[in-house]
Structures are given as structure tokens and as C-alpha cells.
Structure 1
Amino acid sequence: MTTPADYGIIYNWDGAPHGYTELPQSMDQFLQHTYAPLQDTQVGALFWCIGEHASRWQSEGLELLGNEHGRVYENAYNYNFTENIRQMLERGEDPQAALVERGHELGLHVYASVRMNDNHFNGTAPADIPHLHHTEMTGLRRQHPEWLLGDETEEWYAASWNMSVPEVREHRFTHLREACERYDWDGVELDWQRHAFHLPEDDAYRLRYVLTDVQRAARQLAQRLAAERGRPFYVAARVAGSLEMCRRIGYDIPTWIEEGLVDMLIPAGNAATDPDAEVEQFVDLCRGTDIVVYPGFDGALAGVPSGPEDATTREQMSVRGIASRHYRAGATGMYAFNWHAGRDTRRELLTQVGSPKTLQGTDKIYAATHRFFQKEGEWRGAYRRDRILGQVPVALKPTMTGDGPTIRLDLGDEHTEKRQPRFQLRLRLDEWVRGDEVRIQWDGIELVSPDIRFDRGTDPDPIGDFAAAVWFRFDLDAAQVTAGQHQVKVALVTRNPQVASDLILTDAELVVT
């Protein structure tokens, strides 16, 4: 095995640039939309989604995108997106081939990203598959509802493939193999996290060997292609952010490492960013091998409130804090997923998070991770796979010993010769009123006299002076804020007796400015 180049940032495109130009899209327009966000940034590799279920090239073993409904589409977006691809093929053009060629011209490595079990079928049950008009629907899924997970997984993912079925694994491997053989990629990503529902819920750990079967076949394919092409063909795998959830889903990470079935591990969320990815544990498992670890980001931070900063500023500060923490834990670089962008949309972050050096001296938020659930509506159940040890929100209950929740904050090194930043601990309490008393400690030292401000979001002209949530703010001395783990204890002393609801700690964060 050889180690992939240090990519700095890996950028995953989901194929969206096909829909960024009105039909008919030229190849130049497609390539411009694809690479504009990446040029002159710290991105060293593009992972390109080759399609969810149907082929985007003329295939003998797969159904062509758009064929299932006779090129009649459920909405304007899918019409424009799919017909841009189809008409390129009809003109004798191949977007995958052109994409790889342009990436290599720009000095980037380009990987095929294969979504192993994508489910954007909007919670469709297997019984309703025959009636679903969806561009990514295939005849194979209609013909074999018995190959789907059904009631053996979360309701929203009932139409996902059951990977314990041999024919399903062969079908998904065919998609992967065709993509790899046809084009001059530098490697392939098995994106197991799109989506992380592969096996019957109660049997997933015991059936983990069937997912290893696919991973092993992918490695054997990569070895053959590397020998034929005379250069490395790397294998990446996007997996759950925690080793515990990897076990529960069916990813046998120790075996994958021991057998050398991956060159790169990408611990990530199934839905939204998982800031608590266990980077240090993944790095420790890979020690003594050539396998590298690239944690990173999805398009959103689940459960994070707006304010006190505006949403964009808060997201950027939070991303920089997460990246700094990951680097301190041993990450090789960062991975950006669903960062849909034009040339300048994400440029600031894409020129910062690819190296610990460029993160030095930037404003950051180091925040406790939210345990977030979507119990109703779209994507219900999707978030249960992620952030399983999220520390907030947590109700502050009376205790016999005066105890309360202890929140862990892991910090990067913020002290530099050029900058001595300001540090502020912020705690957000929901359902707070005068008469409530809490005791707050930073690393065992009690903090007193907080600056208390009502959280009225980012409204520049709020109508009222009161809000049911407040921010407690404490300025900390530089000597109190070192790289590594710190503990914040918040204990309820007295609850206003006229308020029946719980007092809830929704956020705990250290702000570096």
C-alpha cells in the first residue's frame, strides 16, 4: 500500500453542477461550475458522485438515468439536470471523462464517489414503490421490493437496499466497477454514509461481514486497475463518526484496516456534520499503516442556534473550531461534503481549513455537540445515527448532591506569538427567568458574575426586551485556556418556584476572537 498525497481538503461534489445551467448545458459550462469553487484554494482532491442508482453513461449492466419514466420527469429541476446529462451523451460527449481530464489539468486528484445505498425517496414504503415517480427510481427496485429493508429499519429508509441480499451487493458492485474501469480516476470512494442504513437493524453487527465483502471486492478491483495502469488506485471509505456506530451499522473498521481494504477513512455523519467524530481513535487504529484519516463537514451543523453572531459568521467560526480540534487529534486533512458553492461562496473556509497553519489566528467557536433528532416530517429518523454522545441540550435537574451535567470542550492551540486572542465562555439557558440560580465551574473553578443577555436571535430591531433564553458570558484569562480538554460543570441551585418547566442548557461554547 502507498499513502495518498496530502490533499489538504477533499471536496465532494454530489453532481449538482449538471443542474446549474439551463438546458442545453455545454461541457465548458459544466466544468466551469464544477471547478470554480476549487481553483486557487487548499482543495487537493475532488470526489465526484457518479450517480445514485442509474448510470450516467451508456452501460450494458445498468439502467440509464431517465429511462425508467421514458424521460418524463417529476419536476423542472430533474428535467433540466437529467436532460443536460442525456443530451451531452447524445452529442457524443462524456462528462465523467471531461471532468477527470480537467481536474488533472488543474493538478487535482479526482475520485469516483459511489453512494452505496442512497435514499432520497422521501420516506416511500416498499409497497408504494410501484406508484413513485422519481428520476432515480430503477426497474430493479420496482421488481424486487423483497430486496429492500422495509420495516427492519427506520421508516424513512424503508426503501433502502438490504445489503445482506447477494444480488443487491452484486448490483451495487457493478455500478462501482463500471465507473472505475471506464475512467481515469485516481481512486474510488465507497460512500457508506449515503445513507447509513444497509442491514436489518437487529442483525447489522452480526452481518457486518457482508459489507466487508463489498469493501474487499473494491480493494481487489483497485489492485487490478493499479497493476493495469501502472500507478496507484486508491480506495476511500466514508463511515460513521464513532466506532460504536460503525459497529452498529455494520462497518468492521478493525478488519478493514487489518486487511488493508482502505487507503483513507472518512469519519462522518449520515445527516449533517458530526463534530464529535472520534478522530483520535481512528488515527490510533491506523497507526503503523499507510491509512490516512480525513474527517470533516456536511452542509449543516444540526441543532445549532442562530446568534449571537449572524448565521454565516457562526458557521465559519464553528467550522474552524471543529477543524482545529480534528487536526490536534491527528487528522491528515479535512473533507467537505454538500458544500454547494459558486466561486466565492465557501472560498474563505476553503483557503483556511486545509492546514493547521492557516487556521492559526482565526476566530473560532469550540462548541459542545448537539444531540439532535428529527422525529416528524422529512428525514425523520435520519439523525439517530450521528452524534450519539452529544452533550446538549440537557435539562438541569435538582440533585441531592448539588451536581449537574459536566460538558467537555476540546480545544486547539490558540496561543501564537503574533496574536493573544480573547476567550469567552458562553452558555445558553432556555426557559430562564430571574430567581433561577445556577453554579458554573470551568475546570473546577467557580465562575461568578456572568454577563447575562437575552437571546433574541439576530433580529436587529426586536419588539420586546424579554426572551425565554439567555446567554451567560464569562471572559476567561489566557492562562485558563490551553490546548486540550476542558470541563464546564453547570448545576442547578434554585429554580424559580413559579415556573414548572425545566431549565435547559442548550449550548456550551468557547469563543475565540
Structure 2
Amino acid sequence: MWAPISVAWAGAQCTRSVDASSAESAQSPTSRARLNGWCQALGVQSWMIDAGYGANWGGESRLPDADRTGKHDRLLDDIIEQERTSTGRVGPIAVIKTLRERTGLGLKDAKDAVDDYLARHPGRIDLAPPTPSAKAGCGVLAAILVLSALMLAAMAVRADDRGDETVKRDFAGEWAARELHTVPIAYRNDGFSQFFRVGPLTRQQLEQSEIDPLANSHATILVWGLGPGSVFCFDTKAGQVFGEPLTETQLAMLRTNDRWVHKNVTGLIEQGNCPLKVAVERGHELGLKVFARLEMQHEYGPVSDDNWMWVGLVGDFNKLHPEYRIPGTAQLDFKHQEVRDFKLAILREAAEAGADGLALDFVVYPPYFELADAAIMTQFIREIRAMLDDVGQKQGRRLELMARVPFESYDEYGLDWQTWMRQALIDYIVPSHLRPNSHFDIRIEQFVDLAQQTGAKVYPTLWQALGFVTTDQDPSSEKAGKRKYDKPKTQGMYSAQALLFHRAGADGLQLGFATCHYGSAPWLDDLADPQKLLYADKHYMVDPITIRPGTFATNNVEGRQRGEHTYGLRIADDVAAAIAEGHTVNAQLVLNMRPLFPGERVDVLINGNGPVSFSGDTEDAAARRGADAIDPSKRSHATFVFDRDWWKRGEHMVPMPADWWLLGDNSIRVVYSASTLAADNPFSLTWIETLLDYDR
């Protein structure tokens, strides 16, 4: 889909908003005949249509036959009447555009609906082009505007590729039509935590805990971390092994198990068991490909000798060359050839150690430039691809390349993954969150669409945590014997996210964990099989970033303070189909919000159904007022992170009819009202979740 192009005619009668993708409807003779007159009247000649200045609206309609016949007649009657009243003339482009705005239909579905309407109501829409006199009033300016707009469209990046879709997609239709099948898993560890244990660690122990559990599973790729980004946990000569350059005083700044990481890694290397080579050799014995993963930017600022992470986890390349940093940060700036050469040298070592491929992790952690430069980064990817080809030729095989990128905001960081895919520089693309606490639903459709054209594989990330707080211990909490707690990610959440990925057409899944959890959570392997997920319990969450800051503004409505927000939630479960097949589906709605007081009420409507309600005039509400909800986006984590169940405070749960939830997009309207409202205690909402439990 191309972004819409606004074509302004000089006369007031000649204003139209034309979606450039209309041009490519010319693929069918009937549509071509109808639209050519309009396009030519707008100054768009047939060569422009043939050149493809527009989106693909060819292919099969997603609208079922029953929906295409007559469903929108009443709405189309209204649209046509309004258009004729306002402009004196009714053209097909304006009607299609308005129909899409009111219904959310895709371009082809809207065109088909209008075509069907015309077949039954001929003459209601003017198919002839505007008269010559009307066209003449537009003058040379119109032609310039049209041609300029089309030239810009020709140079534009497709909206689908950029992640800012301008046309609402029919996810329910796409998902229902897609055949679901089992996909492979790429299991990723962080390259550090597998050594974060009391040692000495032996090769056999490393194999048994981190590699062997993947045997006879859906995992086909082991993504083995090289270390925490700036120092490494394999036998490197280009960089430094973690802990190597540190003095005893500096080592004493670290956590106990950090020091064991140093002892475990160096001990294995001294025994001739470089951890990367162990992973490659054992992985190959089990039939796994092994990719070496590099964290592309992990520099642990701030730059200070009092910062234990800077002291222990950052190598001399950064410490000795402040001129290579992004000003004011600890981050390296990839505009410097020396930075790219350093990263390339590490990657070459990993390829020469026997890895089947490399995994470039660009989610850890941008930015990569003071000023984003996609050209430099893409050239760097070409150099990595050329290095892999060189090493692979010597080894008599082709080495593969995987890139993990944020599923949005990638342009801000110079990560032009579209070009990497189109130029066959990468074999796998791994769309992911940038921060797990922002998005529950990682939308991968733009990646899948482009992969279908390029042959690259899409392996979105299922992350190990929700990440509202960091649970990593620091030396002070270790000494105090305190443990940090996050809101836990449930098995139902993994199942919900995995089924969303299957519905969207993922070629595989990447499981992103610190260490191997297949031994303790064997159900992780079931995430590869959508048939096992269809009727598995689910736990969905509205993207937290769409709720923040969560405070409701109110107005006086008929003597009560009232405010409302509407949120979106995609559901991968077809609840209606499950019920039709004999499943009993129980649903609960969960709101995490501050306690309600007398006179306060929250009503929630799902897709217009309901409401389900929460009232401050109940015994349950009164019992909750002793403990306020904790919103981790607003409070210092130090005030609650050591409380195991902090996330339960503010949790309100109520049963609801499961069949209110629809496959695809859903609307959640939250309406707050109160008889009075204290200015210092506005109503606030932290999370919205829903649980779907299946039972025959």
C-alpha cells in the first residue's frame, strides 16, 4: 500500500483525495476502463498506470461473497447522496475513499463493494470523466501537482515497509484465510548468563544445561551469544575475554557470579574448550545450526570508574577511544570506520570458529549514530555479507546472516532492513520490541509482506519477560540478600503472542532467553505448533504504551464527572469457532487501576458489547483502599521492586462473555464516572488484560 497522494485542483470544484494505489487497479479490464477516464481527467496517463505508480490492489478479494453482495448498500446510498449534495457530482474514487474511511475496508474490498453496487444500481455513480470545461479550470498547476505527487510516490518507501500503514488491514480476513503450520524455532541465549554460576564449569555441564535440552525438538537453530557486547565469552583475539584486563580491586566491584563467569570462561578456554566451539560441535551432533550472536551496541554507561558495569563489562576498545563515542554517552558511533572494523573482526572470528551463521542484534541497544546514517549501516551489512561469503567459500559452504531489529522506529537508528532484504544481504529478519514493557503485540505484517517478495525468513522474538522492571541484581542488592521481582510473564502470554505470530505468517519463532529453559519449561517447544495453541489458555495484554500515562481527564456530564478512552487489542483466538466446535471458553477481563471510592464507577464495553462494570460502592472496593496500585512507569522502582507481588496491587478481575472477543482487531472502551472527584487523586489505569480459558 502506498501512502495516499492528495491532488489539489485549482478550482474548488476540483478537489479530490486520490489514493495512488487506485492506479494499479487497472490490472482488470473492467476496472481499467472505469478508472482510466478518471485518471486521465486528473492528468494521469496510461503509462503511469502501467509503470505501477501505486499499490497492489490486485489479487483475490478478502471479502466473502456474502459480504460483497448488498452489505454496504445502505451506507453507499448515504455516501452517494452526501457527495452529490456537496459537490453536485459523484465519482467512483471519492465513493471508494469514503467507504474505506467509514468501514476500514482494504482498497480492493472497497472497490469490489462499489463494483457490486453498480452492477445492481447502474447510473448511481458517474463513471464518465469530468467535462473538458471542468478540467480546463484546473490549469497547468493541477498537472504539475499530479506529476509531482506521482514522482514522489515512485521514490517513496511503501507504507507497509515503514510500519506506518495508512490503510486499515482486515486482519480477521487475512488470518482466517491463512493456513497454519508448525514452524521451526531459533533458541537464543544471552552469551553471559549460561556462565553465571558457581564453578568451575565443565564442558559436559555446559552441554547438558544449554544445548542438549534442544535435542529432538522444534529448535533448528541455536543462537549462541558471544558475550555482553563489549567484552566476550569465547576465545577472542580481536577483543577481550570478560574479566581479562581487570585488577583484583576492579573484580571485587562485581557480583560474585560475575567473577565466576570470568573463571568459568577462561577455565574452559584454557582446557581447549572455547565455549563457542563447544556450542558448534555439540549443536552439530544434535542436528542444530549454530549462529553466533553479537550485541551490536552494549556499552553500559555512564562512563565512570564508580560504575561497576562500565568497569567490568566494557572493553578497552571503548575505554581507550572516547573519540569513537556518540558525544555525551558511552555508546560507540558507527560512523567511525574503526568501530565497524572492530565489530567485523569479532564477527569474522566467530565465523571462522565454525558457526553456521551470524546473528546481528540491533535491538541491543540503539542508537548507533549521533545522526542516523542508513547508508553507512547498509554498507556495513554488505561488508559482513562479503566476509561471510569469503569464509564460507574457504569452508565449502554458505554461511547465513540473521538480523534482529525493532519492529518500529528503525528509521531513527539507520536500520534499513528493507534494503538488506531486497538486496539479499540477510537470510533471516527478527522483528522485536525495542523495550518489552511497551508492546505486547509485535506487529510483523510489514516484514512478512516483504519476505514473500525476497525469500528472507521472518522469525519474530518471543521475549522472556514483560520487562516493567529489571530483575538483574546489582552488587548492593546481592550484599543485602534482596531479590528483585517483575510482573511475571505467564504461559498464556507466550501462547497468545505465539499464535499472533502464526496468524501473521511468521516463518519461525525466536525464543529470547538468558539461558536454556527447555528443561524446566518443555511447553516452550509447543509454541512452534499452532494446532496446539488454538485451544490453549491465553493471556492477552493491551500494549502498555497505548495506555500511558493512564490518567483520565474528566468533564461534568449531567452532574457527574466523566472521562473515557478507547484502546485496541488484537486477539488471535477465534472464540466463535471454538465454541462451535464444542469448546467451553471462559473469559475474564483484568484492569489494573487505582482503588475505587464511593460514587466512582468504571464501565468497560468490548466491541460495543456490555458493559462489565467495577463500582466503588462495594465491600470489595472498600477492602482494596489500603494498598494503592503501582504503576512502574511513574514510580521509583526502588520503592517496590523487592516486593514479590507488587504487580497484584490494583488488579481488578471480572468475568465476561468470551464471545465478545473477535478474531483480529477489538475495541475496548473504558468509561470512568464519579459523583465527585478529588483533584489530587485522578482516576488512573495501568494495564488492561484478558484471560481466555478453554475447557471441553
Same fold (TM over 0.5): yes
- Mark the CA change 1:399 to 1:9 in structure 2 (over 3 Å): closer, same or farther: farther
Does the 8 Å contact 2:604/2:611 carry over to 1? yes
Q: How many residues align?
A: 458
| TM-score, scaled relative to structure 1 | 0.80
Structure 1 counterpart of 2:281, from 98, 101, 108 = 101
Alpha-carbon displacement from aligned partner over 1:317-366 (angstroms, at most 9, x marks no partner): 11211111122122222212234345533322x12211211212211111
Between Structure 1 and Structure 2, the one with more helix by share is 2
Q: For residue 413 of structure 1, what is the amino acid of its counterpart? A: D
- Mark the CA change 1:311 to 1:251 in structure 2 (over 3 Å): closer, same or farther: closer
- Establish whether residue 278 from structure 1 lines up as the match of residue 443 from structure 2: yes
- Establish whether residue 404 from structure 1 lines up as the match of residue 575 from structure 2: no
- Mark the CA change 1:140 to 1:129 in structure 2 (over 3 Å): closer, same or farther: farther
Q: What is the CA–CA distance in structure 2 between the aligned matches of 1:431 and 1:80, rounded to whole Å?
A: 46
- Establish whether residue 420 from structure 1 lines up as the match of residue 584 from structure 2: yes
Q: Which has the higher contact order (CA 8 A, sep 6+)?
A: 1
Q: Which residue of 2 aligns with 1:463?
A: none
Structure 2 counterpart of 1:210, from 355, 367, 376 = 376
Shift of 1:316: 1.4
Q: Which residue of 2 aligns with 1:53?
A: 230
Shift of 1:484: 0.7
Q: What is the CA–CA distance in structure 2 between the aligned matches of 1:495 and 1:472, rounded to whole Å?
A: 23
- Mark the CA change 1:303 to 1:23 in structure 2 (over 3 Å): closer, same or farther: closer
Structure 1 window deviating more from structure 2 (16-25 vs 481-490): it is: 16-25
Q: What is the CA–CA distance in structure 2 between the aligned matches of 1:357 and 1:98, rounded to whole Å?
A: 35
- Mark the CA change 1:430 to 1:39 in structure 2 (over 3 Å): closer, same or farther: farther
Q: For residue 370 of structure 1, what is the amino acid of its counterpart? A: P
Structure 1 window deviating more from structure 2 (356-365 vs 218-227): it is: 218-227
Structure 1 window deviating more from structure 2 (106-115 vs 225-234): it is: 225-234
Shift of 1:62: 3.0
Q: Which residue of 2 aligns with 1:331?
A: 506
Task: Give the greater-gyration-radius structure (CA).
Answer: 2
Q: What is the CA–CA distance in structure 1 between the aligned matches of 2:191 and 2:198, rounded to whole Å?
A: 15
Q: What is the CA–CA distance in structure 1 between the aligned matches of 2:389 and 2:197, rounded to whole Å?
A: 38
- The percent identity for this pair of structures is 24
Q: What is the CA–CA distance in structure 2 between the aligned matches of 1:23 and 1:363, rounded to whole Å?
A: 39
Alpha-carbon displacement from aligned partner over 1:207-255 (angstroms, at most 9, x marks no partner): 122221221212222333444434332111011122xx10112211222
Superposed, 1:157-236 pairs within 5 Å as 158-183=329-354, 185-200=355-370, 203-204=371-372, 207-236=373-402
Deviating 4+ runs (over 6 angstroms): 129-133, 310-313, 400-403
Give the gaps of 5 or more residues in structure 2.
1-181, 470-484, 630-647
Q: What is the CA–CA distance in structure 2 between the aligned matches of 1:218 and 1:408, rounded to whole Å?
A: 40
Q: Which residue of 1 aligns with 2:147?
A: none
Q: For residue 24 of structure 1, what is the amino acid of its counterpart? A: P
Shift of 1:22: 3.6
Alpha-carbon displacement from aligned partner over 1:259-286 (angstroms, at most 9, x marks no partner): 1221111111344364232211221232
Does the 8 Å contact 1:129/1:142 carry over to 2? no
- Mark the CA change 1:143 to 1:399 in structure 2 (over 3 Å): closer, same or farther: same
Shift of 1:160: 1.6
Q: What is the CA–CA distance in structure 1 between the aligned matches of 2:286 and 2:554, rounded to whole Å?
A: 60
Q: Which residue of 1 aligns with 2:201?
A: 25
Secondary structure, counterpart of 2:598 in structure 1 = coil
Q: For residue 334 of structure 1, what is the amino acid of its counterpart? A: L
Structure 2 counterpart of 1:289, from 447, 450, 454 = 454
Alpha-carbon displacement from aligned partner over 1:34-92 (angstroms, at most 9, x marks no partner): 12543454322110011223354555433344332268724332222122221222223
Secondary structure, counterpart of 2:388 in structure 1 = helix
- Mark the CA change 1:346 to 1:223 in structure 2 (over 3 Å): closer, same or farther: same
- Mark the CA change 1:469 to 1:23 in structure 2 (over 3 Å): closer, same or farther: closer
Secondary structure, counterpart of 1:135 in structure 2 = helix
Q: For residue 293 of structure 2, what is the amino acid of its counterpart? A: S
Alpha-carbon displacement from aligned partner over 1:396-443 (angstroms, at most 9, x marks no partner): 222589762211110113444363322233333324222113443211
Does the 8 Å contact 1:7/1:44 carry over to 2? no
Secondary structure, counterpart of 1:425 in structure 2 = strand
Q: Which residue of 2 aligns with 1:387?
A: none
Secondary structure, counterpart of 1:222 in structure 2 = helix
Does the 8 Å contact 2:340/2:380 carry over to 1? yes
